[in-house]
Amino acid sequence: MHVSAIPAFDDNYIWAIQPYDGADAIIVDPGDDQPVRQWLRHHDVEISAILITHHHWDHTQGLLPLLKDYPVTVYGPHTDTIEGVTNPVGHGERFSLSGDIPFTVFATPGHTLDHICFYTPGHVFVGDTLFSAGCGRMFEGSPEQFYESLQCLAELPDMTSVYCAHEYTEANVKFALAAEPSNETLRQYAQQVRALREHGLKTLPSTIGIEKAINPFLRAKGSEHFAELRRWKDQF
């Protein structure tokens, strides 16, 4: 399976999933249709399906324009706020795309109440729930919900690649170092991240194993600890 990052806006990544090189692509969270169209033309492929993690505009704004030219199946959360979703899905539901790519849906409320993640063995597309060394802002959910959502993702195999929707890693690492200054694995990770960004390279995907070792939000000791970290990060 091939997964490509399509940069959008200042720091978004729209992910393109192909079962093999040259195949039509499953597009994840098309906040802007123009970068997607450019990527499709460059690779001479079309869209086979679209996945939506939550309702925020920078994940959905390109959906309707793309559907005008690519009337494909759209999987997304059960909500009335996303126009264009044809197949609403909830926690534990499963479906297959592009012939034989199986997906399992995880409900991950916290950043928003409708947030879902899409898991296929070896890969998880997490939208704004989990970032490398961080997590999304808590706009709609409760600390208890967000903590449980992150713990759900932490149960995936350590080698699972984590595809976040934003390039926030460098800023997140600065906070993580403040929260866990004695975490030697985190300190080494920070050096790797700095080197990548100095060369204009992306820091994603991460893995579940890496995040369990360096992400203070994934390592929080309960929802109260998570809430304290989230408040601190909001003011950091």
Judge whether 32 counts as a catalytic residue: no
Judge whether 2 counts as a catalytic residue: no
Of the candidates 204, 228, 114, 210, the one whose C-alpha atom is nearest the C-alpha of residue 153 is: 210
* Residue of 24, 32, 54, 55 marked active site: 54
* Residue of 32, 55, 56, 115 marked active site: 56
Q: Does 158 carry a binding-site annotation?
A: no
Q: Examine residue 121 and say whether the peptide bond preceding it is cis (omega within 30 degrees of 0).
A: no
Rounded Cα distance, 12 and 50, in Å: 16
Instruction: At 197, list the tokens.
Output: 């960004």
Burial class (CB in 10 A: 0-12, 13-18, 19+), 157: exposed
* Residue of 55, 111, 115, 123 marked active site: 111
Give the number of other Cβ atoms within 10 Å of residue 135's Cβ. 30
* Residue of 55, 115, 123, 166 marked active site: 166
Judge whether 59 counts as a catalytic residue: yes
Instruction: Give me the phi and psi of 12, to 5 degrees please.
Output: -80, 150
Judge whether 78 counts as a catalytic residue: no
* Residue of 32, 33, 59, 115 marked active site: 59
> Where is 34: in which H helix or E strand?
helix 33-43
For tokens 């909500």, name the residue.
79
Judge whether 115 counts as a catalytic residue: no
119 DSSP β-pair partners:
104, 124
Q: Does 59 carry a binding-site annotation?
A: yes
Q: Does 199 carry a binding-site annotation?
A: no
Judge whether 114 counts as a catalytic residue: no
Q: Does 29 carry a binding-site annotation?
A: no
Judge whether 43 counts as a catalytic residue: no
* Residue of 29, 33, 58, 114 marked active site: 58
Rounded Cα distance, 102 and 105, in Å: 10
Q: Does 166 carry a binding-site annotation?
A: yes
Residue ranges of the annotated binding site are 54, 56, 58-59, 111, 128, 166
Residue ranges of the annotated binding site for Zn(2+) are 54, 56, 58-59, 111, 128, 166
Give me the active site residues, please: 54, 56, 58-59, 111, 128, 166
